[in-house]
A and B are shown apart, each in its own frame.
Chain A
């Protein structure tokens, strides 16, 4: 994947332009995929920082294009606990190649081996993004045969930064429709989205399970859905609640 130096910058600038015209998260995700493909990267994962409340990838993923089987295995086998790339984002304070890291445990080496042998993630590069509150998110890109020259890596750094910027803009856009849920309905749906049962929510808010169920029922009617899962989904989509 040889490119002239001027070519690397132009690839980055073209990518930035594509990101800035993406209006949806799905559109931005596709733009990231096509942009990193210029350097041979096939997969990407942009995830927010790990916190004590959010460790698993499915709670933190922002923009992702991973083989389905790898994603499932990563979650089921809790690879995040042995993934040196994931844990290095916060400590590295600059971009790094996967090959720059030290894999000290057998488990961490095994994770990388599976990624490489089973899913063609032979080479990877990672860019941490620091915002106003410190480390916020990290982009990891991988592929079988990539251009990981200094120039290509610099271009990917820029791509990570501008993709994150656009993602923030998309998420901050307020929906046109006014809120349909009452504050109480929104509050209870927030707990439902967090995985709490009716009984839990009643205990947390000091109200009866009956009241919880009735409130969820009225939320479902206002959101025009038939199940709690749909209610969570719809409430998230309308930005009534966030996770």
Chain B
């Protein structure tokens, strides 16, 4: 199940907010070794965890956070524009209908589960819900086939480069009904991955 949290509703989900930053710490600081993001030994947060961020959180059957991805306006200074502009060929995309997608992760035990496909499904679902045309992101190059196999449409916007010994590339995720239909076919369901009672979203 997917829960979308932003400045309009974060006060309703303090437990989820607490959990998601702990899971991020476990995955990015402890497991992946991103020591530069170690602050207090508990949460992983950076300068883009502000009220402008949207968190798309994966919850397990008990309602606990097991992973998420973060969305951030490309019309504001964001990670790609400030840290990785050299990875994008021909200028960083800055549009109100395109958000940057970062920190996509699931905690280790859930990585090859149906929850992984659910979190991937959330990409086009959230995109359609928010009226977006796409998401920009930096991804591990060799993860692209997995996401394509699930049904996502991904276009490279720069050449892959090696970061921390792994090939990474800047991409644009397409948001479309076709894309959502393909992913739903892969996971064998047309039900929304969002929890019920989602408050009406303000269009971006």
Interface residues of chain A, those whose CB is within 8 Å of chain B, are: 5-6, 8-9, 12-13, 16, 93-95, 128-132, 136, 150-151, 154-155, 157-158, 161, 164-165, 168
B150-178 CB mask vs A (1 if < 8 Å, else 0) is 10000010111110001101000000000
Interface residue count on the B side (C-beta < 8 Å): 19
Tell which of A8, A93, A130 has the most Cβ of chain B within 10 Å: A130
Residues of B within 8 A of A168 (CB): 148-149
**Cβ proximity bits B134-158 to A, threshold 8 Å, 1 near / 0 not:** 0000000111111011100000101
Tell yes or no: B49 within 8 A of A by CB.
no
Q: Are B167 and A94 in contact (CB under 8 A)?
A: yes
B64 within 8 A of A: no
B148 and A165 contacting across the interface, CB-CB below 8 Å: yes
Q: Which residue of A lies closest to B158 (CB)?
A: A9
**A12 close to B156 (CB less than 8 A):** yes
What CA separation (Å) do A93 and B167 show in the bound complex?
10
Is the Cβ of B141 less than 8 Å from the Cβ of A161? Answer: yes
A95: shortest Cβ distance to chain B, in Å?
7
B149 — which chain A residues lie within 8 A by C-beta? 131-132, 165, 168
A175 nearest CB across to chain B (Å) = 19
10 shortest interchain CB distances as A-B pairs: A154-B160, A154-B159, A165-B148, A9-B159, A131-B149, A132-B149, A129-B145, A9-B89, A161-B144, A131-B145
Chain A's nearest CB lies how many Å from the CB of B151? 11
Bound Cα distance from A157 to B160, whole angstroms: 8
Q: Which residues from chain B contact A6 at a C-beta distance below 8 Å?
A: 89
- For the complex, give the distance between the alpha carbons of A150 and B160 in Å: 9
Which A residues touch B141, using CB under 8 A?
157-158, 161
On whether the beta carbons of B156 and A164 are closer than 8 Å, the reply is no
List residues of chain B with CB within 8 A of the CB of A9. 89, 156, 158-159
Q: Which of B142, B144, B156, B160 contacts A13 (CB 8 A)?
A: B156
Q: Whose C-beta in chain B lies nearest to the C-beta of A93? A: B142
Q: Is the CB of B159 within 8 A of A8?
A: yes
Residue contact A5 to B145, C-beta cutoff 8 Å = no
In the complex, A16 Cα to B89 Cα: how many Å? Answer: 16
Would B146 and A131 count as touching, CB distance under 8 A? yes
If A5-B159, A9-B159 touch, whether A157 touches B146 (CB-CB below 8 Å) is no
Name the B residues within 8 Å of A95 (CB-CB). Answer: 167
- How far apart are the CA atoms of A93 and B140 in the complex, in Å? 12
Rounded to whole angstroms, the CA-CA distance of A134 and B71 in the bound complex is 28
Q: Which of B158-204 contact A (CB under 8 A)?
A: 158-162, 166-167, 169
Closest to B186 in A: A132
Determine the distance from Cα of A151 to Cα of B162 in the docked complex, in whole angstroms.
11
